[in-house]
Structure formats: structure tokens, C-alpha cells
Amino acid sequence: MEQKQFQAESKRMLDLMIHSIYTHKEIFLRELISNASDAIDKRYYRSLQDGSEGMNREDFYIELRPDKDTRTLTIRDNGIGMTAEELEQNLGVIAHSGSLAFKSEHTLDENTDIIGQFGVGFYSAFMAAKRVIVRTKAQDSDTAYEWISDGTEGYTIDTCEKEEVGTEIVLELIEDTEDEKYSEYLEEYRIRSLVKKYSDYIRFPIRMEITREKLKEGSESEYESYVEMTTLNSMTPMWKRNKSELKDEDYNQFYRDKFFDYSEPLMHIHSRSEGTVTYNSLLYIPAKAPYDYYSKEYEKGLQLFASGVMIMEKCSELLPDHFSFVKGLVDSEDLSLNISREMLQHDRQLKLIAKSLEKSIKNELAKLLKTDREKYTEFWKSFGIQLKFGVYNGYGVNKELLQDLLMFHSSGCDDAEGYTTLAEYVTRMREDQKYIYYAAGETVTRCAGLPAAELVRDKGYEVLYLTENVDEFALQMISKYQDKEFKNVSAGDLGLETEEDKTALEEKNEASKELFAEMAKALEGKVKTVRLSSRLKNHAVCLSSDGDLSLEMEKVLNTMPTGQKVQAERVLELNPEHPVFGVLQRLLTENTDKLKQYTDLLYQQALLIEGMPIEDPAALSKMICDLMV
């Protein structure tokens, strides 16, 4: 018989697990039971779909058999079993197991602790066993196979005798040492407590023969022992249990086991609904975005159960994109068991469930925002962008749902890291305030430093600082919040002046018509107009935009890979109170060449302030130096 080698990465993993600290080793039992349960799920589901096998739910079991004589612990199930190819594929290459997902995220060598927290799958058997024998018979196969490995080098596969469909895993336990007593795993109390601790919610019976004593018949003092098959787990799935019986710890443990996340979830939402559609759901919001969350590879979805039977691993129809970060499961009695993926998409019940879940996720987030700001901020940092895209996408169909979950940096916050909601902003608005003001830029410092933001703040109004690309697009989609329009401080009329102010400025503009025409000519193709500004206080110059497209939006759109370039209608605005304006007026009559040069210089300064790219930084530097000497 041929001895096959494990793949290199599997070896590394095995080595690591075998040397993991003792207290973590007990999880091997949880892993093997969970595999057995999955295998039963698969077989049960298939039998329900084709109705061929005539298996009932009660016919399925997982059995544990400790044997002190042979020092083995056997885990047996009558699940779907494995063919020879599947054996090879599933147990020969570690890359097949769920452990891969976390392997790419964490460096195993530095963080051996992970093993205690995680689903590491079948290979964890080698944490307690020096040799593992897997005997398995697949549902439609006449032949059974035996896989044997000592976990270090490789494995063999051979045919064997096995009547029943399913899998049997025999662990030959490692010898006891001074501090590691593997023989404990043969003790009834130890096995019982491990099952209670880790596998209580498994929905199929985990059975074990338990030896009990009873009075001998006819005797009053003599006992005899007898063996009784006992079910060790309560079999109530976590999500069907009463909330009051469950602790955060239980929820977190379940989350880590089931959804392969190393860290604890931020929160869970456990609910039962009995209305037009009946279901139990257990949802989690992760604390951190998975490494692939903002990539195309990420797949949203919830596990879907029909009356306790898992029918889909990732049902994407249950989650809208804006809540795609949610993990969890739904179990409904109203769904048909043999529904196909295509039918599911049009299923009315499923749509109702999805709607109701969406509402409940929203409500829970809103509640968190109200009651635990710190936690919500943590959530926001991981998934806020997703919500803002949610507002923007689909022409704003979800804006009503999402707008009160949004947060932005703001001049109204105590520090640059702080956030405000739109509702909070509005409560701070002054009586005479017409607009919700915002400034857009790469960072809070950049936004706060915009001359126009400074002016608006000086007038006593709060300014939102939009630092994310999607921000301004999202606000434009919302367009009005509590009847207040949003206003970019760098665009259009800020509504800060009286009619007299406006007339006065217009007159001044009119008086310098010639100057501005000359300057605009010098900046042909770059700006649409040059004019005096009402948004400047200390600064000499700024750039603003007319029309719907703001400077920040121009910047964002031009970084998109579509290749299409857009340009906002740029306006160069000058401060009539600044001495530079006087210089410009003088140059118009005295030295038009210099006027051109200064105009260019002012324009480029304005670009820099806005955080816009300048065409030729070297030329700008030279121009400044020329002026200096």
C-alpha cells in the first residue's frame, strides 16, 4: 500500500497543532462532532430532497465510544460519508478546511493561541491522538474506505469493512505525560462536560453508553451494573433557546465557532418573529471588517435553515448590500425544504424575512448609537463607508432607512476624531441658519483649513468635515435633512449675507470688471470666471465652483478607473479686503505681464489650498523663487 504525503502547508499546521498548549487540545472533540453534525445535515437534507432513502430525523446520531482497553476514543456518525476521492481531497489537503480562511489572515507561528479559539477542523484530532483511523462509507457507495495517519508524514487509504453509511473516527490517544493526561478523554465525566461545554446545541443526539448501577433483582443491598445509551446534549439549537438562558459568552463562543472569526463580535441580535412569517434569527455584527470585506471576493449572506435543517450556507438574498457585513443565520418553518436556489430568489416568504431582518438590523444599530456611542463609533469605523454607499446606491432608495445611522466629523465635535450625526447637527443649528454646511477634503485638518470653512465657522455655524470619497455623493443623494439643505462651503451662495451686502459686492465686481476679464483671459481653460468673494476673511484667494459638480467630486470622479475626466466649473475668488487685491488693481494699469504672472500664482495657491493637483509644481517653484530674488 502506498504511503501518501501531506502537503507542505498541512504539515506545518499539523506540527503547530500537535505542539499547541494542552488546555486548548480539548477542542478536538468539538471539531469532530461538528464535522459529524455537518455530515448528517448533508445526508438528511439530501434525503428530504429526493425522498429516496426514507430516513427520518430521529434516525440520525453521533456516537462517542471511549475504550480504556485499547486506549481509543471513537466518534461515529451516520452522515453522508466520503468516497475515496473525497477522503483524499478532504483529509489529505488542509487547504480544504475552514482553517484556510483564518490562515491567510493570521501568522500562525506567532499566534498559537488562535487554535484554542478557532475551528481548526479535522486535523485537531492529532492534538490528542498519535494515530487516527477514519473509516467511511459514502451514501451511494458499496465500498468503504479506511484512512490512517500518524499525523506527521502522510497517510494511507485502503478499502475496509463497514456496513453502515457514515464515518467513524478512531483516535489512538497519545500517552500520558507528567502534565498532559490524554487518558482523561476516556473518562465519562470529562466527555460529558466537553459535550455540554462545546456541543450542547448540536441538533442531533450525541450518544454514549453509560454504565449505571441498579439494585439486583430480589436483593435489597446488592447492586449490579448495566449499560444504557444516553444522549449527552440538549439538542436545542442556540437560536431556538430562550434569550434569558443565554449569556454573552455563549453567543460569542457560538459566533467564533460558526463564523470563523477570531475576535468577539461587536453585538448579536437574537430574535423570533411570528407574524406573516415565522422565523428565528441569530445575527452578529463583527467588530472588525474581514480582510476581504471591501473587495469583490467578499460574499454576503446568512445561513438558511428550514425547520432546523440547513439548506444554504450563504443565502445572499437575506441581506441588503448596505448590511452585507452582518453574519448569522435564519431558521424558518415557512420555507420549503426542497427549494432550489432559483426558486428561493422569488420566494415571497424569503423576501418578507429579508425585509424584517433589515428593519431589525437598522433598529438595533440605531439603539446602539443611542445607548453606547463608543461601541457605535467602533462599528462606524469598520462599516460606516458601507452605509454611506448604501445611501448613495440605487438613486437613494435607502436614504430614509440609513440617514440617521450616518456620522461625520465636524467642527461641532470636541476633537478631530469625534463624529456627529445629522440629527445632532440639526439640534445645534442656530435659529437663523438656513443650511447644513460641509467642507470636503482628504483629512479633517484639510477641511478645517479651507478659507471658506473658516469663514462659516467664524460666523458661528457648524461645518461638517467630509473626509471620505463617498461622503459628498451620499449627502447630495439625501439632498435635504429635516428640511435643511446641504451646502458645500466651497460652492455657490452660502446664504450668509444680507441683500445690501450682496448689492455692494455686485457693485464692486462691476467696478473691477476689466481686471477680472484680464485675469480670466490669463487663466483660459482653467477657470470659468474670476470674481470677488464673500467667503473669504483672512485669505487672499480661494477656488469655488458653480453648478452641481463640486471640486471635491471632480477630484473623486477623476480618480475612478473609467478614464472619463470631468471638470467642475471653477471660479477663482478674490478677497476684496486683502492688500493683494489692491496690488492686482494697480498692475492692471502698470504692468499686465506681471498681472498675468500673479494671477497664475494665485490660481495655483488656490489649487493647493483645495488639495487639487497642480500641473507643473517645478514651474511654480521657479516662479516663486524668481519673485524672491
- Residues making contact with ligand ADP (CB under 6 A): 31, 35-36, 39, 77, 79-82, 90, 96-98, 119, 121-123, 167
Paired strand residues for 302: 315
The helix-helix angle for 513-522 and 592-610 (nearest 10°) equals: 70
For residues 73 and 80, which CB has a smaller minimum distance to ligand ADP in the complex? 80
Query: Partners of 77 in the beta sheet?
Result: 62, 167
How large is the angle between the packed helices 471-478 and 551-559, nearest 10 degrees? 120
Beta carbons of 139 and 43 less than 8 angstroms apart: yes
For 275, 323, 505, 582, the CA distances from 577, given in Å and listed in that order, are 67, 51, 11, 9
Q: Determine how β-strand 484-488 pairs with β-strand 435-440.
A: parallel
Q: Give the nearest distance from C-beta 226 to ligand ADP in angstroms.
A: 30
Shorter beta-carbon distance to ligand ADP: residue 79 or 441: 79
Contacts of 64 (CB under 8 A, 6+ apart): 73, 74, 75, 76, 191, 195, 206, 207, 208, 232
In the complex, the smallest distance separating the C-beta of residue 167 from ligand ADP, rounded to whole angstroms, is: 4
CB-nearer residue toward ligand ADP: 77 or 471: 77
| Residue 344 CB, nearest approach to ligand ADP (Å) | 23
Going from the C-alpha of 367 to that of each of 262, 384, 531, the distances in angstroms are 26, 16, 48
Question: Smallest distance from the beta carbon of 306 to ligand ADP, in angstroms?
Answer: 21
Pick 167 or 599: Cβ nearer ligand ADP: 167
CB-nearer residue toward ligand ADP: 99 or 386: 99
Question: Closest approach of Cβ 319 to ligand ADP, in Å?
Answer: 22
Query: How does strand 62-67 pair with strand 206-215?
Result: parallel
Q: Minimum distance from CB of 120 to ligand ADP (Å)?
A: 8
Instruction: Select 329 or 436, whichever has its Cβ closest to ligand ADP.
Output: 329
Return the residue matching grid coordinates 429516496. Answer: 52
| Complex with ligand ADP: residue 131 or 351, whichever CB lies closer | 131
What burial class does residue 562 get, using C-beta atoms within 10 Å of its C-beta: 0-12 exposed, 13-18 middle, 19+ buried? exposed
Q: How far is the CB of 331 from ligand ADP (least distance, A)?
A: 21
CB of 170 to ligand ADP, least distance (A): 12
Alpha-carbon gap, residue 492 to 249, rounded angstroms: 54
35 versus 411: smaller Cβ distance to ligand ADP:
35
| CB nearer to ligand ADP: pick between 95 and 619 | 95
Helix axes 579-590, 513-522, angle to 10 degrees: 80
> Least distance (Å) from ligand ADP to the CB of residue 260?
8
Cα gap 135→158, rounded to integer Å: 10
Q: How far apart are CA 108 and CA 102, in angstroms?
A: 9
Residue closer to ligand ADP, measured from CB, 91 or 369: 91
Least spacing, CB of residue 144 vs ligand ADP, in Å: 13
Q: Coil, strand, or helix at residue 386?
A: helix
Nearer to ligand ADP, 98 or 154 (CB): 98
What's the min distance (Å) between Cβ of 31 and ligand ADP? 6
> Pick from 570, 552, 554, 571: which is nearest to 442 by CA?
552
* Residue position matching grid coordinates 507542505: 8
By C-beta, is 161 or 179 nearer to ligand ADP? 161
CA terminus-to-terminus distance, the chain: 89
Which phi and psi (to 5°) does residue 33 adopt? Answer: -65, -40
* Geometric angle at alpha carbon 289, from 283 and 290, rounded to 5°: 95
- Say which residue the cell 435607502 belongs to: 398
**Residue 614: DSSP 8-state:** P
Residue 144 or 401: which CB sits closer to ligand ADP?
144
Q: Minimum CB separation from ligand ADP for residue 94, in Å?
A: 7
Angle, in degrees to the nearest 10, between helices 188-199 and 27-50: 60
CB of 116 to ligand ADP, least distance (A): 16
